[in-house]
Structure 1
Amino acid sequence: MPKLSDLGWAWFDKALNEGGSNEVPEDLPAQFARCFSGPEGEAVLSHLAEMTLARPLGANAHNGILRHLEGQRYLVSYMMGLVRQGREG
């Protein structure tokens, strides 16, 4: 069986070996809040939420589709959380 790095996934090995940090830079929430401020920013966040968080899948949805949507949901929720945190801070 080929190694992940032979299949173009070398970046994944590097991330695992470096023990990637989950820390959020102190100013990142404020940057997200500024980026998504105003009517245009609110429209973008609303659109992302509609496409992901409010999108139901049927019981017969393929496993790959479910995983893909869950990844999208995680990212949108993460972004919305940073915006919320930046607005409160």
Structure 2
Amino acid sequence: MSRPESGWTWLDAPAAIHGDEALLLLARQTARLFATPDGEAVLQHLKSMTLDRCLGPESGDNALRHLEGQRHLVLHLLALAARGRGGM
């Protein structure tokens, strides 16, 4: 049974595009990258800029959407690294 087109297909997992083996390889590469001291420092910086940050009530819609997009990217990298370590 196919899913009706809702306009939200851009949220689908990359596995549909790259295939499971390629996604697993990418996950393992991501895990190795962030396991290094330099990688851990970069990841900590990305987390502090996005996940550990909040915007005030005066923030506009564009600023909120921009930060949420950044958060999504950092969380995607964290999920890839976790899967590459066998955590998923």
- Identity score, percent: 46
2:65 aligned residue: 67
Q: Which residue of 1 aligns with 2:14?
A: 22
In the TM superposition, residue 21 of structure 1 has moved relative to its aligned partner by: 6.5
Cα distance in 1 between the residues matched to 2:57 and 2:31:
36
Q: Which has the larger radius of gyration?
A: 1
> Counterparts of 1:68 and 1:42 in 2: how far apart (Å)?
24
TM-score by length of 1: 0.71
Segments of structure 1 that go 5 or more residues without pairing to the other structure are 1-15
Q: Deviations over 1:60-89 (max 9, x none)?
A: 101000000000000000001111111126
Aligned length: 72
* Aligned mates of 1:21, 1:57 — CA distance in 2: 28
RMSD of Structure 2 on Structure 1 (CA): 2.1
